[in-house]
Amino acid sequence: MRIVVVRETAPGERRVALVPESCKKLIQAGYEIAIESGAGDAAGFADGTYTGAGVSTVPDRASLLASGDIVLKVTAPADDETARMKPGAIYVGSLMPLRNLGAVRALAGRNVTAFATDAIPRTTRAQSMDTLSSMANLAGYKGVLLAAVELNRYFPMLTTAAGMVFPAKVFVIGAGVAGLQAIATARRLGANVVATDVRPEVKEQIESVGAKYVGIELQESAAAGGGYAKELSDADRKRQAELLAAECALSDVVITTALIGGVFAPRLIDAETVRTMKPGSVIVDLGADGGGNCELSRPGETTHVGGVTIIAPLNLPSTVPYHASLLFSRNLTAFLTAFTKDKAFHLDFSDDIQQGAVVTHGGEVRHARTRDALQKETL
């Protein structure tokens, strides 16, 4: 089977779906690989590193897509890319189907079997294939660095000849992969870290990476399974808002990482809470890709409101493209090799990983939540 990789064309996207290290493993597994010329340049992987790994480089994007039995991408394919895929091809990448309904519709119409690696079940067996977690880890790390650069004070406690400087207080909202990495990074920089999550079962995880846990006792569980959270009841939402407002007012840095079902960002910090924060404090809204956790966030922009800086970055993993590509590529390689038999990828929808990740197959949308969203669009 022939695997093809094209250069990412989304604005600001610098990652590449496969790196030479992974290409060698897939070629050993029996695949032929071709990549668009220059596809890895922005991530630090020149064409020569691919040819040295046994990969063909092809300048013609259209013919490359048309030749692929398996198409690997970082982001959802554009309509013109899908139109050039051959019917019956397999797409694997971070599709984010609920955010990209048009792409899903096009893939189904082209009879492409599409797997969304961001929808892979969060199980021990599937952990090495989970691009959502890999990229969230990078986002949590980079988000703290953005805050440290913008903050008008030190992160760590320092003893100097001019006296002692006390550590910054960082408040992390959400203790998924991004939140836990944000906590760990802020602690390594010397900050005093407090964190919260609507899932009380993550208290031990928060404390294990060096933060103090704060939270409310929920009247209804907020766990949605698979490491995800669901929306709170009205009563719990009100009590949580009071807790968040109190902690934000005390904090130098607030980092929000909350997503419902790993897709959409709940609104957690309102304008009034921002107005109570100290001048010079910083909010980093890592939920910006899902719409934003702060009412005053402008996704993709940095704004200043009453002395508070609000950073709402989009696609943070792309700002560290070398390692983002390396991890993403390893995830895709783990997925492909797990289902490779006799030098070919075998579809097996009885397998829980394929069943969870498949979005389109046989001209139909197989992913239940995406199918429901498409049906609502037509009403």
18-69 per-position pLDDT tens digit:
999 999 999 999 999 999 999 999 999 999 999 999 999 999 999 999 999 9
Residues 108 and 66 placed together within one structural domain of the fold: yes
Domain end among 282, 314, 346: 314
Tell whether 141 and 222 lie within a shared domain: yes
| pLDDT tens, residue by residue, 118-143 | 999 989 999 999 999 999 999 999 99
HSE toward the beta carbon, residue 188, CA cutoff 13 A: 10
Same domain, 238 and 298: yes
Between CA 95 and CA 357 the distance in angstroms is: 10
Catalytic position from the list 118, 130, 285, 289: 130
Give the pLDDT confidence of 196-244 residue by residue, as tens digits: 998 888 999 999 999 999 987 776 655 555 555 556 667 777 888 999 9
| Confidence class for position 377, pLDDT limits 50, 70, 90 | confident
Q: Which of 37, 41, 69, 127 is catalytic?
A: 127
Which of 12-26, 43-57, 64-78, 155-169 is least confident?
Answer: 155-169
Last residue of a domain, one of 314, 344, 366: 314
User: Which of 298, 314, 330 is the last residue in one of the domains?
Assistant: 314
User: Based on the domain organization, do 183 and 253 belong to the same domain?
Assistant: yes
In terms of domains, do 147 and 264 share one?
yes
The pLDDT value given to residue 221: 56
What is the total count of domains within the chain?
Answer: 2
Count CB atoms within 10 A of the CB of residue 231.
14
- Catalytic site includes residue 236: no
- 267 as an active site residue: the answer is no
Residues 211, 123, single domain; the answer is: no
Q: What CATH number corresponds to the domain at position 310?
A: 3.40.50.720
Cβ atoms within 10 Å of 41's Cβ, excluding its own:
14
Looking at 154, 228, 237, 351, which residue is catalytic?
228
Enter the tokens of residue 166. 């006390």
Structural domain span for residue 162: 137-314
According to the 3-state scheme, what is the secondary structure of 269-305? ECHHHHHHCCCCCEEEECCHHHCCCECCCCCCCEEEE
- d(Cα 227, Cα 361) in Å, to the nearest integer? 26
Q: Is 228 a catalytic residue?
A: yes
Does residue 255 share a domain with residue 164? yes
Does the pTM surpass 0.85? The reply is yes
The whole-number pLDDT of residue 217 equals: 77
Share of the chain above pLDDT 70, in %: 96
Judge if 254 and 216 occupy the same domain. yes
The verdict on 291 and 362 lying in the same domain is no
**Cα gap 268→229, rounded to integer Å:** 14
Tokens describing residue 125: 């067996």
Same domain as 287, residue 339: no
From the candidates 2, 99, 105, 122, give the one annotated as an active-site residue.
122
- Same structural domain for residues 118 and 143? no
Q: How far apart are the first and last CA of the chain?
A: 40
User: Two tokens at 145?
Assistant: 């660095």
Pick the catalytic residue: 22, 67, 94, 133? Answer: 133
Q: Are residues 238 and 93 part of one domain? A: no
